Structure 1
Amino acid sequence: MNQNKTVLILGANSDVAKQCIKQYIAKGFSVIAASRNTQSLENFIQQNNLNSKVKVLFFDGADFDSHQQFYDKLSVKPHLVVYAAGFLVDNEKALSNFKETQQMMTVNYMGAVSILNIIATDENNTNLERIIGLSSLSGVRGRKSNFVYGSTKAAFTTYLAGLRQELAQRNIKVNVLVSGYINTKINAGLELNKNLLMEPDYVAKHIVNAGSSFTIVPNFKWKLIYFILKVLPESLVAKLP
């Protein structure tokens, strides 16, 4: 039973994170949902009658100096942590506007490392059982259509892999969700293959039911694509869009 266990979801206003909130509650967890957009979260929680099981907090991944205070003020230290914050701009815009690139670096990687380092190094938190980070297949190999965004996700995946080794001695599990296209607001307006689109609740199910394997790739089609990307020669990767 998970009645006395708490999940901290950082970047909880994402579509996948909102589905995680519902599914963790269904499994008996209490949820701390943290985001810059607390009003949107409050609306979601009220619409789904989740008030008694969710505590909403303000969290800004880009405000590194506030992270220690945010963590120290948590009334309950979490058993599970999910980092779900993400930011995406297309590659052309990222190449011509470094502020957009910097925002992706900050949200997708630097903010994650800042807060997760604080959480992971708190040896007084004997509750901590698992940390899960949301990455992307874009970070598996550099491709000309999205390598700036992909580089931030590749960095995050590498960080989580090392964190997994670091925390193994304390029996704390670390997972990375490596997802393909998800039908979410971050992908709104992009021309994506509809046959490969996954729904947020489907992806959330794989997060909430994470096991011992480090890498979680939802959907057999994306598992195949992931494997192909991993082994494809560089000369062929260069021909991909």
Structure 2
Amino acid sequence: MNQNKTVLILGANSDVAKQCILQYIEKGFNIIAASRNTESLNNFIKKNNLNNSKITVLSFDSADFNSHQNFYNLLPSKPHLVIYAAGFLVENEKALKDFKGTQQMMIVNYMGAVSILNIIATDKSNKNLERIIGLSSLSGVRGRKSNFVYGSTKAAFTTYLAGLRQELALRNVTVNVLISGYINTKINAGLNLNKNLLMEPDYVAKHIVNAGNSFTIVPNFKWKMIYFILKILPEGLVAKLP
């Protein structure tokens, strides 16, 4: 029964993560929602009239590595499922000129994820752990001149998750990576994106909540096609892409 299972969502203030909260609650899970912006999470819970007894809101900063072990030690219960949904994006042109933005992407999208997920994955006393899902991006599949700085952080995260999947296989813990294209979220607000390819957060969340055994999750048939084409495209043609 899911009513006794707990989902830990790291970066729970993202639009996709909030939809995951709604869908996991519907399935009867207990939720630990962790984010720097706990006020926004509490407002979301009130707005949606969610059962407070099923949700615990905690403060979590992916950039504060030194706090991660203590954060994990003080969890009200050890999780069955873990979602890493924290993300940060700076447009490529700005990232090339401003290393602070680049560094923040590295920290939130990769370093912070590795820091907390290493702690969770190496806790062999947690017999509950069943699954870890990391939210990556199609930007990390191949380096493209329009977004390779951001993409490199997602590529690193995807590679980490692939290895973590092998590491945890003997403990029957499943690791998945969500490779998403354009999502209609606040992180993408203001970007000039193809509206025909935009996915809604609840649609993406459904693929996370219903994750199976395959490592890679690519929501939407159009994005699946783009993903496979990108994987096999010769370097000369990739260089001509925006």
- Shorter chain as denominator, the TM-score bin is over 0.9
C-alpha displacement of 1:76: 0.2
SS for the counterpart of 2:4 is coil
Name the residue aligned to 2:178: 177
C-alpha separation between the residues in 2 aligned to 1:75 and 1:83?
18
Once the two structures are superposed, the pairs formed by residues 92-107 of structure 1 within 5 Å of their partners are 92-107=93-108
How far off its partner does 1:75 sit? 1.4
Cα distance in 1 for residues equivalent to 2:234 and 2:30 = 46
Query: What secondary structure does 1:133 align onto?
Result: strand
Structure 1 residue 220 displacement after superposition: 0.1
Aligned-pair Cα RMSD in Å: 0.4
SS at match of 1:40: helix
Cα separation, 2, equivalents of 1:87 and 1:75: 27
Q: Which residue of 1 aligns with 2:43?
A: 43
Q: Which runs of 5+ in 1 are unaligned?
A: none
Residue 49 of structure 1, CA deviation: 1.3
| SS of alignment partner, residue 152 of structure 1 | helix
SS of corresponding position for 1:3? helix
Question: Percent identity among equivalent residues?
Answer: 85
1:53 positional shift: 1.4
Which 5+ residue runs of structure 2 have no aligned equivalent? none
Structure 1 CA distance for aligned equivalents of residues 15 and 113 of structure 2: 18
> How far off its partner does 1:161 sit?
0.1
What SS does the corresponding residue of 2:2 show, helix, strand or coil?
Answer: coil
TM-score normalised over the length of structure 1: 1.00
Taking structure 2 as the reference length, the TM-score comes to 0.99
Mapping for residues 82-121 of structure 1, pairs under 5 Å: 82-121=83-122
Match for 1:148: what amino acid? V
In the alignment, structure 1 residue 5 sits paired with structure 2 residue 15: no
1:141-188 CA-to-partner distances (Å, cap 9, x unmatched) read 000000000000000000000000000000000000000000000000
Partner of 1:16: 16
C-alpha displacement of 1:52: 2.4
Aligned pair count reads 241
User: Following superposition, which runs of at least 4 residues in structure 1 exceed 2 angstroms of deviation?
Assistant: none
Partner residue, 1:70: 71
